[in-house]
Structure 1
């Protein structure tokens, strides 16, 4: 590694007083201690040594390796760390917090994998270079000593790979991925996160070993998929994800979108369209100062909004193709797949609802919707309305400039109508004109199912006709109740 680069990394490490003090403590006790992995990689990136693709070392998220055994690490941290945790101690990792900085300190390892389970047979090692050999990629197999010499160790050419924008494994890619199949999803993530391109050997190994992802728990898979989607530009990574067959194991509904819509190749395939919608949604999200960014719900919805199309495709006369009710089928598929990947209930339901609603705008025509229809659009979207706006706009990917301009103008008009009605009626909090207590008092009924039915009836009236005067609402309630009870 060039002396200037080594000096840059040393200086970045010295910016952290915690690392300096940690190094002094371990060195005084006669142990090696090194900063490793992503921290060193990002330090190099932040220094501009690899084209400026990185964001710098992330304080509070630092990985350290040492030849000290876990029990010795705990002894050294006593009186130094404000807290420690040993949930990973079986794998040689001790967690600690020092002055607000979180550290993971792991003993050198020389693991062996049985390639049937997802966990290694942990074995302690005595060599830093051997420890680095078991890292996932060369760009993560660099270390800088926290001892006084601050030596930078790069035995597998990680810096050269960063400079070249290359993603390689320290050893044979097939061995690395067979040991831990999750590394294949990390490769996908690093394409998006670091702008790296995997070498042919890595792509070939990912392709041949993709079925091995079945050994990995859904929770771990979901974390990597989410990290990929949350990057600024995940498209190339997702293309690798699909091309290598990893998506067939993790998200087969995405792979299924690669279909020619008709035999004449006149219509865009749904897969390319979905990636374009994702690109556009990210651009709208990042341009909105009031939006959450990165927004996992919006990005999942943009990627998956059309996954109901393969199951609903029908060839019609004159070469036309239809996908009737694909939003209904798609919402069910989204819910099933995201639940299988252990996403939270909130994420699952939000993405499914956006998928279900993404086509409704196309019934707006040239503004023929009544105020009632606009109210229902807003109410059905609820707090997802800002995301729905972005999804619908992103979904208009036609290359016909006149049609694109017309769709944009029409949606502008819908948003103006929503704003006008919202200002007049507070659509974000539409409620019936009578609450549950008033319903029970007027009808003389106790709490129960009938109160809920009456509440829903009054809410439907509110959406249909706008706010009602109290006496009008009461009259409507009594009329509904009389019809229901046969009085």
Structure 2
């Protein structure tokens, strides 16, 4: 993968009625397509060949269909990008198991990579996340009916992707291959969409009674009825920041935190005189920060947790703490374009190394509505020169 500063040139969606561009012609300028061309697939499920050949077939299926052609231009462009990138996670996840090629977790890995590419390409965050949702969930309809928690999965899926748009993408994924079970796959996809429709989320997010009902359904007891109108008995608010280094999280705190208590790993690191690369000190700092957070939450004070918070894994224990202490959980996503990010990171007193930002991009998961009562996106924040 090339450096994160450089722009990314993505294949444009064709006009309705036109043929899909040949993706192989873009492989020399978009490294992810070259990696897909070099990635083999299990011939039982993909007799057509490598990942890029399959992707081209999916794109051809998509643009040939009347349903795609009838969508508004934004919908066509987002589905096109999702089709191009839906299997971009396969090169990093494909391995041989028992003589078969498999790519476990490629949808999640692909969504993370797609997010980075779309960010570098300058795609607005809302459109970017709709595309990433399609990539992230494109494997779920194949297995939804076999899951004991199929309703919960369908509801979760509906919070980040339009199930009807996902159905169209996955039907094209099923048909854009050479395999003996193409029709069976397409039927499975249709049945999965019917599950969503019966739940009331076939063409949009599940209609929770309120944001507290949604939050407690996913963070509370696993057997909770999604239609239950939960009474919001929270007191105090925990705000979790989520953003790359240099995006402007400290500036957001300065201008928006108000009287809230701010718990910041960077501040604790400065208090201790610890370097960012000191992993021993980092563990102690995180432990101290979490204890401070517990003290403030026990008092039902408003707290801002100021860290990068880019992965669900890092956010999950903090979200659970918010639930356990009965406070409202808000996640603020602080966004900055690559050039702004690089400029502002360079102006920090302790800039984050570019290699560290590269690693963080490989873990960047946009916060979901299942993680919080409220999600806010703050973009184009520019902090003043020091």
Task: Normalising by structure 2, report the TM-score.
Answer: 0.50
Q: Which has the larger radius of gyration?
A: 1
